[in-house]
Structure 1
């Protein structure tokens, strides 16, 4: 297998529509990373890197696969909205193959995992796959129902009164943090557990919210377990992705049936604060636009994509103040534009990225490598010959799909 990804064409900023950009990312990630899980037919996993590691002992990143599944659903819903039902059905089939792959790689059960945040992310993705099922077949497939039920039951086990509430990070039960509590709260809203969701969100606001910076600290650690007294230490680190699912949970709980008007207004105000804090803390100026900062590779390679996903939903939420919606939408659109402008394209059918090769820019004929940093071109930030991580490419795909959702509703412009 070739081992280089040198540039052939880079394209210009305006050489494709917003949906075509998302489609290029979808095609590229599937082309470069998709493979069978442990070689088993009917399954799918995203390889952790391209070129694919040869050893079956390559790192296993459960939560990367959950976000890959979310991106597949994004693409499926985009295709369905565009009237391309056959394409949507193929993406749905890939989503179910990926769920089977995750299950297989996890030892036969999706809850064979020590981290509640990992399982919360998969619950969210499985729920959206079930939504795509409903749109195409009228009902969710049984694998989604089974996985969803098992995952939400595990998250309920992690949601306890210890440390005042919230959801534990892992089965060691010594840390409760935003990373687990945010997506768990959103999962509780979506699985019709509004009381649990409200309790988790209340704990987050009480224990981890920084009102001056309008962001969430990472978590609380129990530092004297078994001593007979509860002693905790606040982890003051902040990560961009933590704002995303909390933002979505606040808005979706506000929309939930039975939410009193006063609580709804408070939830929307809190969501507006989260948008403002995310823009200030994680935004930066680039070429006259405010874009989101990214966090390198590894797990950090997903962080900004997660925030962008939920900022796009905030930009479309009619209850949010206009300024908050505009801020959220502009962050997504500008970040997507910068990632697109900094991509490197090549045509694997002609020659696997031999320097100087001329490649077509027709969607589906080339593949793209996206920079992990919107402020730097892929030729600099993801140098040819260096393995490309799945996380950074799923992040770019997620951001471009978020921009496509805004574009479909006339809420963004090509940049």
Structure 2
């Protein structure tokens, strides 16, 4: 059931959003809005990290049902990202490059895509982002005064994975240090949720803590804990993952459905959390934890709500930014509905792929 639904949403997103880069052959990128303006069709506005999640969704789909056509699309999107980024793999934002690194590594594992060169550049830049200001952590971007979960979380997940797949052996310790820093500096003791980040003064002291709570911050912290639980006998990482799942269920879901965060970058937030909840649902039981069941329940309830509240549109179903509410269909590129955003559609696709993965793994057990 979930595999079929994910396939329908995949086809709809790709039909409406996937286009060549500047009409060049063997390239694809996701147009940032649908219906799209001329500027959007030419990829004038560049959302680097949205494209990383498009690549990640394609890898999800290839795991669900491999086919040569999608394999070609994965390679074309990868080429399109580098071309639109003016021949570079990196930019100044540590969170952006961590997301692309994760997507490229998964594409390599799924398709055998050669990724040594880009991952060497990305992980080298992430290693350089660490300083002792505010007790550790990497910056949000180069030359900034802000350190946050959105940068340290995906960087920790990537370095933990890369340590055993071609990176430096010390990358796992770097991932552990980043996650320990988030635990010390940004966990709300009242709820167990992660705050966004903190500003650092010139002397290295914390100047201000931004206590905004975002769903995707919980997702990347959870993902890092799950990665670090492998081979760990202390149980501390499993306990932190369990605490995060409980906190999400108590504070960031309504009747088990994850809350949205509007459009733009926020459109991706709930989908990212769903991805790492599904990962936790699969891997925590290996450590004797019962929290995987709660994580799976959040994913399946969210996917169910997103599917029920879909709207019929050209190319296939359109999903909304709040999965518990009916989606609305934009009439033109001037119609400023949040549903236009590629980020919103990727997030919905992501939660359906997460549900399909749980369905697939469950059928094998």
Change (3 A) 1:146 1:49: same
Count of residue pairs brought into register by the alignment: 348
Q: Does 1:214 align with 2:192?
A: yes
Partner SS state of residue 26, structure 2: coil
Structure 1 residue aligned with 2:167:
none
Structure 2 residue aligned with 1:107:
86
Structure 2 residue aligned with 1:24:
8
Instruction: Indicate conservation of the 8 Å contact 1:92/1:132, yes or no.
Output: no
Q: Does 1:283 align with 2:253?
A: yes
The answer for unaligned runs of 5 or more in structure 2 is 164-170
Moved more, 96-105 or 304-313: 96-105
Structure 1 residue aligned with 2:237:
267
Change (3 A) 1:188 1:57: closer
The answer for unaligned runs of 5 or more in structure 1 is 1-16, 81-86, 134-139, 349-365
Instruction: Indicate conservation of the 8 Å contact 1:343/1:378, yes or no.
Output: yes
Q: Does 1:370 align with 2:319?
A: yes
Residue 132 of structure 1: CA displacement?
Answer: 0.8
Partner SS state of residue 410, structure 1: helix
Q: Does 1:309 align with 2:275?
A: yes
Instruction: Indicate conservation of the 8 Å contact 2:134/2:204, yes or no.
Output: no
The structure in which a higher percent of residues are helix is: 2
Residue 189 of structure 1: CA displacement?
Answer: 0.3
Output the CA distance in 1 between the equivalents of 2:119 and 2:261: 30
Out of 244, 262, 266, the residue aligned to residue 300 of structure 1 is 266
Residue 276 of structure 1: CA displacement?
Answer: 0.8
Q: Does 1:120 align with 2:86?
A: no
Q: Deviations over 1:170-225 (max 9, x none)?
A: 01231110010000000110111211011111111111111321111111102x32
Output the CA distance in 2 between the equivalents of 1:76 and 1:124: 16
Structure 1 residue aligned with 2:34:
50
Residue 375 of structure 1: CA displacement?
Answer: 1.8
Partner SS state of residue 39, structure 1: coil
1:155-304 paired onto structure 2 within 5 Å: 155-192=126-163, 193-222=171-200, 224-225=201-202, 228=203, 230-255=205-230, 259-262=231-234, 265-285=235-255, 290-304=256-270
Residue 57 of structure 1: CA displacement?
Answer: 6.5
Q: Deviations over 1:223-265 (max 9, x none)?
A: x32xx5635211111100011121111111111xxx4412xx1
Change (3 A) 1:123 1:57: closer
1:286-365 paired onto structure 2 within 5 Å: 290-317=256-283, 318-319=285-286, 323-346=290-313, 348=314
Q: Does 1:402 align with 2:354?
A: yes
Whichever of the two has the greater Rg, that structure is: 1
Moved more, 321-330 or 98-107: 321-330
Instruction: Indicate conservation of the 8 Å contact 1:305/1:396, yes or no.
Output: yes
Partner SS state of residue 22, structure 2: helix
Moved more, 230-239 or 316-325: 316-325
Partner SS state of residue 368, structure 1: strand
Output the CA distance in 1 between the equivalents of 2:134 and 2:240: 23
Q: Deviations over 1:32-60 (max 9, x none)?
A: 00001122111110000012220247321
Output the CA distance in 2 between the equivalents of 1:102 and 1:162: 32
Comparing both chains, which one has the higher relative contact order based on Cα–Cα distances under 8 Å and sequence gaps of 6 or more? 1
Output the CA distance in 2 between the equivalents of 1:248 and 1:342: 28
Change (3 A) 1:162 1:95: same
Change (3 A) 1:57 1:94: closer
Change (3 A) 1:239 1:231: closer
Q: Does 1:131 align with 2:115?
A: no
Change (3 A) 1:203 1:322: closer
Q: Deviations over 1:114-140 (max 9, x none)?
A: 21000011111011000112xxxxxx3
Q: Deviations over 1:360-386 (max 9, x none)?
A: xxxxxx51111111121113xx44443
Output the CA distance in 2 between the equivalents of 1:378 and 1:322: 36
TM-score by length of 1: 0.81
Query: What's the RMSD between the two structures over aligned residues?
Result: 1.7
Instruction: Indicate conservation of the 8 Å contact 1:272/1:321, yes or no.
Output: no
TM-score by length of 2: 0.91
